[in-house]
Amino acid sequence: MRQKWRDRPHVKMEIFILLELLMSAVDSVNPVQSAESDRPTPPQLAIAPVPPLLGASLAELTEWVKQQQQPAYRGKQLYQWLYQQGGRSLADISVFPKQWRADLANVPVGRSTLHFRSEAPDGTVKFLLRLADGQIIETVGIPTDKRLTVCVSSQVGCPMACDFCATGKGGFTRNLERHEIVDQVLTVQEDFQRRVSNIVFMGMGEPLLNTDNVLASVRSLNEDVGIGQRSITLSTVGIPGHIRRLAQHQLQVTLAVSLHASNQTLREQLIPSAHRYPLTALLEECREYVQITGRRVTFEYILLGGLNDRPEHANELAEHLRGFQSHVNLIPYNPIQEVDYQRPDTRRIQSFVEALKAKHVAVSVRQSRGLAADAACGQLRASKVGAIA
């Protein structure tokens, strides 16, 4: 029986999503709600206690060192060592008393170890990182002259099982903790020896199925690592109620919603979870997000040759987005071995762009990076996991 469940990732995905929806419904029950303001109070996050220490705020670290019977100023020393000096072991903090360093030798900081590194000709670097429990995750550093963007993972694997996505083919293992997300950014920053400017949650996993840890990591990346919220993008295929929940946190991050289809039937073909979340309901929740936050939504649309890239699809998409404060990011498909979808040619891509522009839809085409390293969007997969055993 266990083997049957293991071989049915769609069933695991449905159970995972149903549990998330049930938890969200319970969390939304709040009998003591103020009537003095129409704006909802940002919900409180379930922050993990320290250690692991990475991802903790200065206040949390200060409280932790005080619990260790140390003076409060040790908290700031620890904070600077974690976020400014890239510390990986408490035993190496020379400003701490020698005996205390020895006592802290086994306290986990929360840093990963490098399992595999691959660099593409365009400078994009893919990292496979080994976590404390032996799981392997992926993160990607994408450099340009003016920016260094990190594509981070939010889960080990992904439960959404999108038909065109290599990561989804590998199944789902668990959520990442906040320190495991923050660690990815520090790893890239240390490898490139330059400051990270932008972060996109577009690696392995569905961020809004790991909301607490994702938002806790966003707080740390913003306040502790120093990356502006407007330089952080959260990408989601859409989980009922979760975009509304995200809006109530009043963040300045960019929300990117993966549509990938211009109608419900086609979307269900590409994204198995879509049958539980009609396209019209998803777009309505996105409109609420714009109303609550005042920030536009980016819609990601992967172009699959001969499937969703015809002019009628562009017109259909434009109708859905009429009067919407939004932007469409077109992503020409990067082929993977597991499925037979094709990348459209340049002419079809440009025709799609022109059709949207004719309907006054803001649109751009994403440049694929790191193809030689299997690091472009849709190609993130643990290709070296088999070497672990």
Q: Name the pairing type of β-strands 136-143 and 125-130.
A: antiparallel
Given the residues 20, 138, 177, 180, the one annotated as active site = 138
Given the residues 151, 158, 165, 377, the one annotated as active site = 377
**Residue 215 phi, psi (nearest 5):** -70, -35
Does the annotation mark 190 as catalytic?
no
Cα–Cα nearest to 329, from 205, 200, 217: 200
Does the annotation mark 36 as catalytic?
no
Catalytic residues, by residue number, are 138, 377
